[in-house]
Amino acid sequence: MFVDRAKIYIKSGKGGNGCVSFRREPFVPEGGPDGGDGGKGGDIIFVADEGMRTLMDFRYKKKYEAENGQDGMKKKKFGKNGSDLIIKVPAGTMIIDEETGLLMKDLVKHGERFVAAKGGKGGKGNVNFKNSVRQAPNFAEAGGFAKERNVILEMKLIADVGLVGFPNVGKSTLLSVSTKANPKIANYHFTTITPNLGVVDIFDNGFVMADIAGIIEGAHEGAGLGHFFLKHIERTKLLIHVIDVSGSEGRNPIEDFEKINSELALYNPRLAKKPQIVAANKIDMIDMNDPSYIEFKEYIEAKGIKVFPISAPINEGVRELLGEAAAMLDQIAREPQEDGAYELFDFERDDNDPDYRTVYADMDGDVYVLSGKQLIKIFNSTNFNDMGSLRYLYKYIEKSGAIDKLIEMGLDEGDIIRIADYEFEYYPE
């Protein structure tokens, strides 16, 4: 089954906590603190793999978590770093942050790597907090938070040439006679329900060609197989517009040409600007001197687009068409290419969250609630049996302005304050 879109949950590893430890060895009086640092949490890393063809693997497994960092140990031993989690995806996969809808990375080349969620930093052991005043720190730093998010994986085929046109005009047949691909061919609409790829070898050169089927009126809104196929055209460099000039389906070739181009433009204006060649298919069923064919040919050529009469089933005119495609691709390769217009995810903001140090005050019934990322990290680092550690926690909350906010909300002596899953009675100093 061809699967080209999936949504998964990813979570990096949490950083290991710093260790609180003191040297206790014979003949070493006042050994001092020797707690080591925690290990870094593992990253979530996506890697493009040209050996994969679909996102089928992500249809069944939806949750991916990297390993947490190990806590620090005594004797100043560092905790082990958590293992990174490598997730392989097909080349041509776009990774999109679901919450913002912004593109995080477009993995096009084989072996290209992308860190989608960085592991938390390891917390510092108590040996780091020793100074001339604090000789025996009885606290350590908690490990950094893991990053978690839902991401959308969207695969777009990487092909040089895309075959477009209404159903049943002969795109699959043209692909089969031009390449070694073996697409399903039958005399009904939507025979092709998944994109087919093939490699064209011509004039000691080669290019990848894809059958982009399923385009009908309203495709840009999802009609027929709409978006399922249209997105695969975006990476192509050249379009071969296959048109049934025999009118065997009861359609007008000029109207077919305009309708397909209109759908491309409505889906993405950049698609309508891609270079095109028109393959006038099924010429074996008409007289080349027929006024309607001549009118069609003149109409297309007046737009600056070349027309190649072909009959795909008998391989007539196909070589000339492919030769022109190869020549145009060679010319396109020498021209500067316009980058895709995507709004990108802001990694700088993600790594340096401006709200990280903000302490939020709220109410839950009669209980006053304090929350915030830095607050929770300090809270997790607090040794509640050590007055110095407790005093540091309180001073942090006080300096953040959270106590003043709570007092404005009605906080009074003896009221309950909740931080994380813990509750305390408030008594002002």
Fold category of 161-333 in CATH = Rossmann fold (3.40.50)
Name which of 14-28, 98-112, 314-328 the model is least confident about.
14-28
Which tokens in the block code for residue 412? 């009074």
Q: Per-residue pLDDT for 229 more than 90?
A: no
User: Could you tell me which residues come within 8 angstroms of residue 315 by beta carbon, excluding any fewer than 6 positions away?
Assistant: 177
pTM, two decimal places:
0.72
Class assignment of domain 353-425? Answer: alpha beta
Does pLDDT of 1 surpass 90? no
Separation CA 255–CA 257 (nearest Å): 5
Which of 182, 175, 267 minimizes the C-alpha distance to 221?
Answer: 267
Query: Bridge-partner residues for 6, per DSSP?
Result: 153
**Secondary structure (3-state) at 378:** helix
Specify the CATH superfamily of domain 1-155. Answer: GTP1/OBG domain (2.70.210.12)
Per-residue HEC secondary structure of 263-290 comes to: HHHHHCHHHHCCCEEEEEECHHHCCCCC
Are 39 and 79 within 8 A, CB to CB?
A: yes
Report residue 302: phi and psi, to 5°: -65, -20
Judge contact between 250 and 229, C-beta under 8 A: no
Other C-beta atoms lying within 10 Å of the C-beta of residue 298: 10
User: What are the residue boundaries of the structural domains of the chain, listed by start?
Assistant: 1-155, 161-333, 353-425
N residues, the chain: 429
**What pLDDT, on the 0 to 100 scale, is given for residue 413?**
86
The answer to whether the beta carbons of residues 102 and 344 sit under 8 Å apart is yes
Distance between start and end Cα atoms, the chain: 67
pLDDT for position 209? 87
Give tens-digit pLDDT for 136-163.
888 888 999 999 999 999 888 778 898 8
Helices then strands, counting H and E runs in the chain, come out as: 10, 18
Q: 240-249, 279-288, 329-338, 386-395: which range is least confident on average?
A: 329-338
Same fold, 1-155 and 161-333: no
Distance between CA atoms of residues 324 and 333, nearest Å: 14
* pLDDT reported for residue 266: 85
In the predicted structure, residue 263 carries a pLDDT above the cut 60: yes
Strand 367-371 versus strand 360-364 pairing type: antiparallel
- Sheet containing 63-65, strands listed edge to edge, beginning at the edge strand earlier in sequence: 63-65, 5-11, 148-155, 93-97, 103-107
In this predicted structure, the answer to whether residue 188 has a pLDDT above a threshold of 50 is no
Q: How far is CA 129 from CA 18, 33, 177, 427, in A?
A: 11, 9, 73, 28
pLDDT number for residue 190: 45
Task: Taking residues 99-116, report their average pLDDT.
Answer: 91
**What is the pLDDT, as a whole number, of residue 336?**
60
Query: pLDDT value at position 64?
Result: 97
Confidence of residue 234 (pLDDT cuts 50, 70, 90): confident
Give the DSSP H/E element, type plus range, for residue 389: helix 387-399
Mean residue pLDDT of the chain comes to: 84
Which stretch, 119-133, 180-194, 328-342, has highest mean pLDDT?
119-133
For 421, counting Cβ atoms within 10 Å of its Cβ (0-12 exposed, 13-18 middle, 19+ buried), the class is exposed
Select, from the ranges 104-108, 243-247, 297-301, 410-414, the one with the highest average predicted confidence (pLDDT).
Answer: 297-301
Contact 317/200 with Cβ under 8 angstroms?
A: no
- E-strand stretches of 158-284: 161-164, 196-202, 205-211, 238-244, 276-281
pLDDT given for residue 80 in this prediction: 95
Q: What is the predicted pLDDT for the residue at 265?
A: 86
36 touches 17 (CB < 8 A) = no
